[in-house]
Amino acid sequence: MWTGTFPALSTPFSRGKVDEEALRRLVRHVLDRGVEGVVACGTTGEAPTLTLEEWSQVVKVCVEESRHLPVIAGTGTNNTQSTVSRTRLARELGARAALVVAPYYNKPTQRGLIAHFTAVAADGGLPVILYNIPGRTGVNMTPETIGALSRVPGIVGVKEAAGSMDQVGAILECAADGFAVLSGDDSLCLPMYALGGHGVISTTATAAPELMGGMYRAFRDGRVEEARKLHYRLLPLFRALFAETNPAPLKYALSKMGFGANDLRLPLVPVTEATERMIDKALASCGLL
């Protein structure tokens, strides 16, 4: 179940509130274009700025619009009990898995990370996908830690976003059979597939689901040259969507595509005009405008 392309959805806002109508259209748009599910309330969804009521609203809308495909809900915090509680709530709302980021700010040891994720898997009631993104959390989950956690009942995969192919290879070497290793770096997903990775949780797939899903399927089915061509077609979009802090570039891109306003919550701010021009050019080159 946890292989393929999973768009990390933006949370549209309008006049300070969640734009539910735009969110519903966005979910339908990506699911109609060949992806395996969606991620709600992750980094790209501005989860840290959502109230619990808004977080619940977003997960509920995504579940309602997802038909038979799975919704993965971002439930991670830097408090283990709060993460367990939010994971239980995600299950009640109909999510099929929890994306759980390594606790930020606290900077736990590797033993602390193992204890944290083991507790969430034991008590949260949903399959857990680990989320390793040291650039945001301040702590890197080592391959050995991920390998150990891959053998904990209820932990089914990792979104790996440390930016190191050496680390990806080491994770794939030591992880348990059936454990999904998913790219968290859009520009590295094709190299990860070549090493044996199982898919991607992707910001770019929210703007370009057909192209990102097509690249995964082409590689999976042995059409390597086609996958390579799609990678290079998408490369300007990868660069543009991460030219400033995610999800600010994506919010601008989606506003140009008709999926809500270019509205972020502080401390994030809209991208500069120079970045807007970069995004416009990349969207046009991918046939998205």
Does the annotation count 131 as an active-site position?
A: yes
Of 60, 159, 193, 232, the catalytic one is 159
d(CA 25, CA 14): 14
Of 17, 105, 131, 193, the catalytic one is 131
Q: Please tell me whether residue 4 adopts helix, strand or coil conformation.
A: strand
Does the annotation count 105 as an active-site position?
A: no
78: Cβ contacts below 8 Å, ≥ 6 apart: 103, 104, 105, 106
d(CA 106, CA 139): 9
Crossing angle between the packed helical segments 248-257 and 273-285, to the nearest 10 degrees = 60
46: left (phi over 0), alpha (psi -120 to 50) or beta: left
Strands 71-74 and 38-40: parallel
Instruction: Look up tokens 């969430």; give the residue.
Output: 120
The set of catalytic residues is: 131, 159
